[in-house]
Amino acid sequence: MRDRLVWQAASLLLSYPEDGLGGLAARLDTVDELLAHISGPAATLLGRTVEALRAREPMAVAMDYVETFDMRRRTTMYLTYWTAGDTRNRGREMLAFATAYRGAGVEPPRAEAPDHLPVVLEFAAIVDPEVGRGLLTEHRVPIDVLRCALADAKSPYAHTVAAVCATLPAANDQDVRRAQRLAQSGPPVESVGLQPFTLTVPPKRTEGG
């Protein structure tokens, strides 16, 4: 249950801070209610994000959110982007998330991609913690890369992602090396549909040629 509370709190903190449902302050109040039932390092980490967000104006929080997660590829929360990048495999990997949701009896959200970290966290928290934990654990490496990128940017959201990591199995040496390579080289890419390069412009004729 502790992990499920962490996941729900993290999902709320990592979602776009919309003005509806009482606004950011009401959402942070909900997180505080969840934190009242959590103890340990995860609660401390989540509390740091709450404190940082409360200290800023809601409009500034929203602008920072967009700048952090929508304008920088290194801090994207779309998990399949890190495992499949801009390749044809990404559609198949996103389908795996949707299939997992349907297998648990719920439809994937229409307003957001099924691999978006806040969506996965909410699914794990309130629908199927076993399947949700499996999805999060399977994508532990990209979550770690996201955590490091947020920490490098000194983002308050780094604490929340660190709290999520604390609920997952410890990364082994192979996972650490994969995360380091991914952070350095970025996600996979492919050139879809491009033909081999050929010279279509005839070379300039030389005198006497």
Structure-token match 């983002």, residue found: 155
pLDDT of 188 above 80: no
Under a CB-based contact definition with an 8 Å cutoff, are residues 82 and 47 in contact?
no
**Which segment, 33-37, 108-112, 166-170, is predicted with the most confidence on average?**
33-37
Predicted model pTM: 0.81
Give the whole-angstrom CA distance, residue 113 versus residue 78: 8
> What pLDDT does 203 receive?
44
Per-residue pLDDT, 180:
60
Q: For residues 187 and 102, which has the higher predicted lDDT (pLDDT)?
A: 102
Read off the pLDDT band of 178 (50, 70, 90). Answer: low
What does the mean pLDDT of the chain come to? 83
Q: Structural domain boundaries of the chain?
A: 3-185
Average pLDDT on 88-95 reads 77
Residue 204: its pLDDT value, please? 46
Whether residue 45 is predicted with pLDDT greater than 60 in this model: the reply is yes
